[in-house]
Amino acid sequence: MKLLFLACLSPKTGNCTTAERIRAHIESAGHTCVLRDAGDFQSAAAVAQFVSQAPACDAALAIHLFKAGRLLLDVPVPFGVVFGGTDINEDVKVEHKLVVMKQVLLKARFAVAFTAEMKHVADTLLQSPSSKIYVQPQGIKTKATEKFSWSDFLMSSGVSGSHVEQHRVFLLVCGLRRVKDPLYLAKVFTEWHREDPLNVLVIIGPEIDSALTEEVEAVAQRRAGVFLAQGRSQQELHAAVRRCFAVVNSSISEGMSAAILEAMHLEVPVVARDIPGNAAVVQHEVTGLLYSTPQEFVCQSQRLLSDGGLRASLVRKAKLYVEQQHSMKRERETYHSLVQTLQVKGNI
């Protein structure tokens, strides 16, 4: 079967990584999966025309009900959708987007939610049959390159000093867009850095919103203790995560943060903003630490500094959680099964 797969494919983002992983699952079952950026198409009619071109596609799949799913409304083939996070957390608040997403879900053969909480929101707000939505957490696998210099990484990010490797780096991994709120902790981190210059915040991720990127660059230049690193390949990023003191999340909303799960798998503690998407994967004081304000972030981080037993417990339980609940094998089997439903003629 030939399948068109639409997603937002900004390089080095979670969406791109997720799409590549799902494509690999689909192709491992012997199908042909054509992965395309949703931004390449101007309308649903353009996608319908693409699908019909010889050799025609037999089915379609999309990540994000509005950004990509709406482009499948006119396709003459069955399709499935994967919730992206911002569609369920943010776009449902916009009436015209909500109407479109309801139409997409009505026509889709199936939908995949990363968490039970996302499924519940979809059931409630999108009024879809619950049986159509499957819960499948993201599968996680990490691989850090061995050809990585921590000191070079820090100095290229602007962190300096004669003993640069002694810094305690809190690594904020995110694509630079508003929903990730990368500057949420900047002010309080500068204050904390002045108390203890070894504590630094390094923001790393690809540029998505150019205006926000300029803001982050300006803040990093004028605020002590706050630095901006250029986006890296996934293997280089995993190497940086493995060397940092903790991984930070400050997002306004999340579907399921791959950066958090990858940090857990790499046995690095996570300090995450207490929002539903994060609380679904981070159990406070069990697999990570949650905070609700910048001041509380500092308090929780100080606990990691002073309590070695807590730190050891968090990373041990987090690694076990990821291995048990975010299995690549289970994710692959789920997508194999769901894609088979797209081969069945008629409505399901």
* In a domain? residue 348: no
Domain shared by 200 and 65, yes or no: no
Q: Give the model's pLDDT for residue 345.
A: 67
Q: Give the model's pLDDT for residue 38.
A: 93
Q: Give the model's pLDDT for residue 346.
A: 59
Domain shared by 182 and 302, yes or no: yes
DSSP code for 55: S
Q: Give the model's pLDDT for residue 294.
A: 97
Domain shared by 154 and 132, yes or no: no
219 contacts 186 by C-beta, under 8 angstroms: yes
Mean pLDDT of 225-239: 92
* In a domain? residue 347: no
Mean pLDDT of 137-164: 88
* Arithmetic mean of pLDDT over the chain: 93
Give the pLDDT confidence of 298-324 residue by residue, as tens digits: 999 999 999 999 999 999 999 999 999
72 contacts 47 by C-beta, under 8 angstroms: yes
Amino acid at 95: E
Domain shared by 104 and 212, yes or no: no
Q: What gap in Å lies between CA 344 and CA 348, rounded to an integer?
A: 8
Q: Give the model's pLDDT for residue 348.
A: 41
Give the pLDDT confidence of 3-28 residue by residue, as tens digits: 999 998 876 677 788 899 999 999 99
* In a domain? residue 93: yes
Domain shared by 319 and 184, yes or no: yes
Domain shared by 156 and 299, yes or no: yes
Give the pLDDT confidence of 250-281 residue by residue, as tens digits: 999 888 899 999 999 999 999 999 998 899 99
- Check which CATH number belongs to the domain holding 266 and give it: 3.40.50.2000
Q: Which helix (H) or strand (E) holds 3?
A: strand 2-7
Domain shared by 333 and 315, yes or no: no
Domain shared by 196 and 302, yes or no: yes
pLDDT at 343 over 90: no
Q: What gap in Å lies between CA 48 and CA 77, rounded to an integer?
A: 9
pLDDT at 241 over 70: yes
290 contacts 284 by C-beta, under 8 angstroms: yes
pLDDT at 211 over 70: yes
Cβ contacts of residue 278 below 8 Å, gap of 6+?
Answer: 249, 251, 254, 257, 260, 272, 290
Give the pLDDT confidence of 67-87 residue by residue, as tens digits: 999 999 999 999 999 998 888
More confident residue, 54 or 173: 173
Residues spanned by the domain of 78: 2-139+327-341
Amino acid at 205: G
Domain shared by 164 and 118, yes or no: no
Number of independent structural domains in the chain: 2
Strand partners, 82: 63, 112
Of residues 130, 134, 45, the one with CA closest to residue 81:
134
